Amino acid sequence: MGKIELPIIAINFKTYQQATGERAVLLAQTCEKVAQEFGVSVVVAPQIPDLYRVSRAVSIPVFSQHMDAGDPGRFTGHILGETLVEAGCSGTLLNHSENRMLLADIEASIRKAEKLHLYTIVCTNNPLVSVAAASLGPNAVAVEPPELIGTGISVSQAQPEVISGTVEKIRAVNKDIVILCGAGISNGEDVAAATKLGAQGVLLASAVAKSKEPEKVLTDLVRPLRE
Amino acid sequence: MGKIELPIIAINFKTYQQATGERAVLLAQTCEKVAQEFGVSVVVAPQIPDLYRVSRAVSIPVFSQHMDAGDPGRFTGHILGETLVEAGCSGTLLNHSENRMLLADIEASIRKAEKLHLYTIVCTNNPLVSVAAASLGPNAVAVEPPELIGTGISVSQAQPEVISGTVEKIRAVNKDIVILCGAGISNGEDVAAATKLGAQGVLLASAVAKSKEPEKVLTDLVRPLRE
Amino acid sequence: MGKIELPIIAINFKTYQQATGERAVLLAQTCEKVAQEFGVSVVVAPQIPDLYRVSRAVSIPVFSQHMDAGDPGRFTGHILGETLVEAGCSGTLLNHSENRMLLADIEASIRKAEKLHLYTIVCTNNPLVSVAAASLGPNAVAVEPPELIGTGISVSQAQPEVISGTVEKIRAVNKDIVILCGAGISNGEDVAAATKLGAQGVLLASAVAKSKEPEKVLTDLVRPLRE
Amino acid sequence: MGKIELPIIAINFKTYQQATGERAVLLAQTCEKVAQEFGVSVVVAPQIPDLYRVSRAVSIPVFSQHMDAGDPGRFTGHILGETLVEAGCSGTLLNHSENRMLLADIEASIRKAEKLHLYTIVCTNNPLVSVAAASLGPNAVAVEPPELIGTGISVSQAQPEVISGTVEKIRAVNKDIVILCGAGISNGEDVAAATKLGAQGVLLASAVAKSKEPEKVLTDLVRPLRE
C-alpha cells in the first residue's frame, strides 16, 4: 500500500460484539458504501480472525488492529506481517492504547511493514510520544489521549491542544507524515474541529462500531470533509 | 466442542512460511486426508489471520494458537473467544512456550472457552506446571520441555521422565484430563514412545509444517496409533 | 526461612508515600513492636529499594514484594533471589494482583526460593487459581479478589465463599500449605472472620501502610488472634 | 542530578554474582577510586535491592538499572522514582535491552525523573530508535546493538556505523543530549574508538563487573579519556 488518499477516517472495530464475524463484514460494507458515496478514504480495522473474510468482501483498505515484529518461523500466536498480507490487509495499527508495544518492537514492525508495503498507523498518547513515533518513519501517527478513549468526549473539543501540539511538534521536523487524532470522536463536528486543528483524519471506534445506525453516523462524520 | 476422539495429533503451524495463507489451507487439507484415511484425530492450529479460510476448507478441528481472556468490548488486537467461534474454531492452544500467559489469564481463558464450547489445550514446560494447569480444568494439557522445541530431538526419547512424571502426577489427582506431549516429535517412533509412556497424543510443529512431504511425514506419525 | 509461626499478618507497603524510605523503616519498627507485644508473626513487605535498610532495622521477617525467576548473570533490572537474601529478606510475595506473573515463572521462582530458603507467598485471585498455585509447592497462598483490593470492603465479610472455597479446595489435596487471604482487610473483625473461615492469616496493605495511627490499627488487627 | 561531567563511564552491575550485595559495595568503591584518580565520571548501576547500601558507601553517582513510570500508591513490586531518590540514586537506566519498556512508559518515566531530578539514560538498539528516544528528552541515550551485548566484541570496532549513525542522526535535531554507546566494550581501545566516533561515554557491564581485577580493567578503560 503506497498511499491512502487524505483525509482518512479509520474505524477500529475493537472486540465489539456488533462488529464481530459476519457483523464485521456487514459493517465494513456499510463503511465502503459511505466511502464511495462521499469519495472519502474510510479504513476499517476488524479483529484479526475476521481480517480475511472482511478483506474479501470489500474494496476499501482493511487494516489489522496489531502486528508483531517477527519474521516467519518459530512463533506461536504471533501476528506475522506476511500473514496479514495473505489475509488481504493493506496496513495495520501499531501501539494502540489497548495494546501498547515496546519501543524497539514498534520500530522493527514499521521496518517490516515497509518491506511488505503495509501502511502503518502508530497510535500515541501525547504530542511528545507522537514526535518519537513519527521519527521512526511510519506512514501515519494517531494521537489519542487514553483518558478520553471510549468516552464520547471528543479530543478535538476537550483537549484541542493535544492535536495542535502534536501537529506543531511533528511538522517542525517532518513535513510528510500523516497526522491523525482520536479518542471520543463521534460526530461531524468533532471531525471538523480536528481537521481545523491540522489533523488529516481521525481514528474512531465505538461511535460507529457500536451504533445501531452506522451508516447514518458515518455519513454525519464524513460530510464535513466534503464541504 | 464437547470431545475429540483420542489419540490426538495436534499440528501447530506456528508462523512458518510453508504454512501461511493459501499454503495453510493446503496443509490443513493434507492433514484432513490422513486423518480420514487412518481414522485418527488430527487437529490443526494455523495462524490467527488464517483461521477462517482454513476452517472453511476442512472438516477436521481447527484450533487457534492463542486466545485472550477478555469479553467483547474495548480491546484492540485481542483474540476474543467469540470471534474464534465465528471464525470456525473448535478450540485453542493456551500458554504455548512461545506465548506464555499469566496464571490468572490462563484460568480466565479456560472459563471463557468452556462457555463457548471451545476445546482447550494448555501447554506446559514440566510435570509440576502440568499439574497446576490441569487443576484449572482445561480439556487437555500438553507438556513440552522448551529446550527441545524445534530441535528434532524427541521428548519421548530424550526426556521420557517428563512424560511419565507428568502422567503420574496428574493421574494422582485427575483421571479425565487428556495428556499430550510435545517437543522434537518428528516420526512414528517418537509417537509410539510417547503413547507407551502414557501420553494420549502429541503436539508437534516443524516436522509436519516445514516438511516438503507433509503427507508422508504425517502418515508415518499416525501409523503407530493404528497398529 | 524454614518456617514462620501461624497465624501470619503480612503487611504489603506497596508504593505508598507513607511507607517509603525512612518512613518504611519506622513503619516496620511499629510492626515489630506490635508483633513482639502480642507474640504474633507480622511480616513486612517494603519496596524493593528499601529492603536492605528495613531488614537491618528490624528482626521480624522482611519480604520482597516480587522476585524474578532468573539465576545470576546477564539480566538488567531483574530482582534476583540471591540479592534478596543479601538484602536480608526472609521471603517474597509472588504474583501479586498488581504484578501478575507467567505460570512458568511462578514455578521457577518457587524452585529458586526453595534453594535459597526464602519463604514464598503466592497471591491468587480465586479458589481455582489458588489450587493451581498450591500445587506448585510454595509455602503459602494468599487469595485476594482483585476487585476488593484497596477498597476497605473486606473479603472475609463481602465474599466469605472465596476464603472457604479456597480452604476447602486446597485442603482436599494438600494439608500443609499455609492459606492466607486478603483484600479490604482493615480491622480485627475482618481478621476474626477470616480465621473463622479457615484462613491462617491475612495479607493487607492500605489499612496499615496509609494509616496515621498504624500502631493502633495493627493492635486492633492482631488482638483477635490472641483471644 | 542536574549534570554529570563528560565523558561518562557507566558500569551496569546486571545480576552478576561478583557484583551482588557486599561485593557490589566493594566494586562501587573500586569504581570511585579510579574515578577520583583520573578525574573521570564513573557511574555505577547496581541491582535495585543493593542501591541503598551502595549509595551510602560511595560518593560517585549511583543509578538504578530500571525505574517504573508510576506515582506513589497502589503498586506492588514497582520501582518508584521517589523510592530511588530515598535510596540515594542520582539517576536510572531506562529501556535496557534486557528490560525493554513500552514507548509510552519510557516517556512517562523520563517526565517523572525530571521532576525528581534523576538523570536518565535511555538504552536503544539502533540509530533510528536512538533518535526516537532522544526526542523524548532524557539526559542521555546509550545505543547498544543487542547482538553484541556480553560478547566482548566491541560495538566501536565491529559496528562503528551504529555509533556514527546515531551521533549524526541525533545531532541533526538535538545538540544537547548526551550520546553514549555500549555492547562489547572491554578495554581502552574500545573506549577511544567510541569517543572518536562521537560518543561522549560508554555503558558497559561484564568487562568490569565480572573481572577478577576490576581496578586494572577500569584504569585501562578510563586512561584514553585523560590523554
Residue B227 falls in the annotated catalytic set:
no
Dihedral sign (CA A191, A197, A202, A204): negative
- Name residue B179's beta-bridge partners: B141
CATH number at residue B55: 3.20.20.70
* pLDDT value of position C149: 78
Residues 6+ apart with CB under 8 A from B172: none
Sheet holding C8-12, edge to edge: C41-45, C8-12, C201-204, C178-182, C140-143, C119-124, C91-94, C63-64
Chains near A (3 or more Cβ pairs under 8 Å): B, D
Question: Does chain A touch chain D (at least 3 C-beta pairs within 8 Å)?
Answer: yes
What percent of chain B has a predicted confidence (pLDDT) above 90? 81
Contacts of D79 in chain C (CB under 8 A): 47-49, 77
Tell me which of C11-15, C69-73, C115-119, C149-153 is least confident: C149-153
Among D100, D105, D135, select the one facing A132 at the smallest CB separation: D135
Q: Is D125 on the interface with A (CB under 8 A)?
A: yes
Residue D2 pLDDT > 70: no
Q: Which residue of C has its CA nearest to D54?
A: C52
Separation between Cα atoms, residue A204 and residue A119, nearest integer Å:
17
Residues 6+ apart with CB under 8 A from C196: none
Question: 3-state class of A59 per DSSP?
Answer: coil
What percent of chain C has a predicted confidence (pLDDT) above 90? 81
Q: Which residue of A has its CA nearest to B210?
A: A73
* pLDDT value of position B2: 55
Q: Is A13 on the interface with B (CB under 8 A)?
A: no
> Shortest Cα distance from B136 to chain C (angstroms)?
6
pLDDT digits (tens, 9 = 90+) for B13-60: 999 999 999 999 999 999 999 999 999 999 999 999 999 999 999 999
Separation between Cα atoms, residue C185 and residue D76, nearest integer Å:
17
* pLDDT value of position B156: 83
Among B107, B124, B129, select the one facing C129 at the smallest CB separation: B107
Using the structure block, give the residue that is written with the C-alpha cell 511419565: B164
| Grid cell listed for B86 | 465465528
| Grid cell listed for C128 | 481455582
Question: 3-state class of A60 per DSSP?
Answer: coil
Asked if residues A80 and A50 have their Cβ atoms less than 8 Å apart, the reply is no
**Of residues D99, B187, D120, A19, the one with CA closest to residue C79:** D99
Among B48, B75, B93, select the one facing A79 at the smallest CB separation: B48
Sheet holding D8-12, edge to edge: D41-45, D8-12, D201-204, D178-182, D140-143, D119-124, D91-94, D63-64
* Reported pTM: 0.95
> Does residue B3 lie within any of the structural domains?
no
Q: Phi and psi of D120, rounded to 5°? A: -115, 130
Q: How confident is the model at residue B173 (pLDDT cuts 50, 70, 90)?
A: confident
| Grid cell listed for C102 | 507467567
Q: How confident is the model at residue A148 (pLDDT cuts 50, 70, 90)?
A: confident
pLDDT digits (tens, 9 = 90+) for A161-220: 989 999 999 999 889 999 999 888 889 988 998 999 999 999 999 999 999 999 999 999
> Which of D25, D47, D105 to mutate: most C Cβ within 10 Å?
D47
Separation between Cα atoms, residue C139 and residue C66, nearest integer Å:
15
Are D83 and C14 an interchain contact pair (Cβ–Cβ within 8 Å)? Answer: no
Q: Mean pLDDT, to the nearest integer, of A64-68?
A: 98
Q: Which residues of C are catalytic?
A: 96, 144
* pLDDT value of position A1: 47
Q: How confident is the model at residue A149 (pLDDT cuts 50, 70, 90)?
A: confident
Based on the number of CB atoms within 10 Å of its own CB, is D13 exposed (0-12), middle (13-18) or buried (19 or more)? Answer: buried
Q: Mean pLDDT, to the nearest integer, of B63-78?
A: 95
pLDDT digits (tens, 9 = 90+) for D79-97: 999 999 999 999 999 999 9
Are D49 and C49 an interchain contact pair (Cβ–Cβ within 8 Å)? Answer: yes
> Does residue C86 lie within any of the structural domains?
yes
Are B100 and C100 an interchain contact pair (Cβ–Cβ within 8 Å)? Answer: no
Q: How confident is the model at residue C151 (pLDDT cuts 50, 70, 90)?
A: confident
Strands (DSSP E) found in chain D: 8-12, 41-45, 63-64, 91-94, 119-124, 140-143, 178-182, 201-204
Residues 33-92 of D with CB under 8 A from A: none
pLDDT digits (tens, 9 = 90+) for C191-215: 998 999 999 999 999 999 999 999 9
Dihedral sign (CA A159, A161, A164, A170): negative
Chains near B (3 or more Cβ pairs under 8 Å): A, C
> Does residue C3 lie within any of the structural domains?
no
> Does residue D177 lie within any of the structural domains?
yes
> Shortest Cα distance from A184 to chain D (angstroms)?
20
Question: What's the domain count of chain A?
Answer: 1
Q: Mean pLDDT, to the nearest integer, of D100-105?
A: 97
> Shortest Cα distance from D102 to chain A (angstroms)?
4
Q: Which residues of D are catalytic?
A: 96, 144
Contacts of B98 in chain C (CB under 8 A): none
Residue A57 pLDDT > 80: yes
**First and final C-alpha spacing in chain A:** 27
Question: Does chain B touch chain D (at least 3 C-beta pairs within 8 Å)?
Answer: no
Residues 6+ apart with CB under 8 A from B175: none
Residue D158 pLDDT > 90: no
Among D20, D87, D98, select the one facing C74 at the smallest CB separation: D98
- Name residue D111's beta-bridge partners: none
Using the structure block, give the residue that is written with the C-alpha cell 516436522: B207
Residue B107 falls in the annotated catalytic set:
no
* pLDDT value of position B226: 79
- What string of DSSP letters covers A75-125? -SS---HHHHHHTT-SEEEES-TTS--BHHHHHHHHHHHHHTT-EEEEEES
Separation between Cα atoms, residue D147 and residue D167, nearest integer Å:
20
Tell me which of C25-39, C151-165, C209-223, D42-56 is least confident: C151-165
> Does residue C2 lie within any of the structural domains?
no
> Does residue B2 lie within any of the structural domains?
no
Separation between Cα atoms, residue C180 and residue C198, nearest integer Å:
9
* pLDDT value of position C183: 82
DSSP letter (8 states) at residue C176? S
Neighbours of A38 (CB within 10 A): 17
Using the structure block, give the residue that is written with the C-alpha cell 478483506: A55
Neighbours of B109 (CB within 10 A): 27
> Does residue D3 lie within any of the structural domains?
no
Residue D17 pLDDT > 80: yes
Asked if residues A140 and A133 have their Cβ atoms less than 8 Å apart, the reply is no
Separation between Cα atoms, residue C111 and residue C88, nearest integer Å:
19
Residue D41 pLDDT > 90: yes
Q: Which domain holds residue C129?
A: 8-226
Prior bond of D127 cis (ω within 30°): no
Question: 3-state class of B64 per DSSP?
Answer: strand
> Does residue B108 lie within any of the structural domains?
yes
When computed from its CA atoms, the radius of gyration of chain D, rounded to whole angstroms, is 16
Separation between Cα atoms, residue A218 and residue C26, nearest integer Å:
60
Q: Mean pLDDT, to the nearest integer, of A52-81?
A: 96
Question: 3-state class of A175 per DSSP?
Answer: coil
Among B103, B124, B137, select the one facing C133 at the smallest CB separation: B103
> Which of A74, A121, A203 to mutate: most B Cβ within 10 Å?
A74
Residues 6+ apart with CB under 8 A from A57: A25, A28, A29
Better-scored residue on pLDDT, B70 or B3: B70
The one-letter code for the residue type at B95 is N
* pLDDT value of position C159: 87
Q: How confident is the model at residue A13 (pLDDT cuts 50, 70, 90)?
A: very high
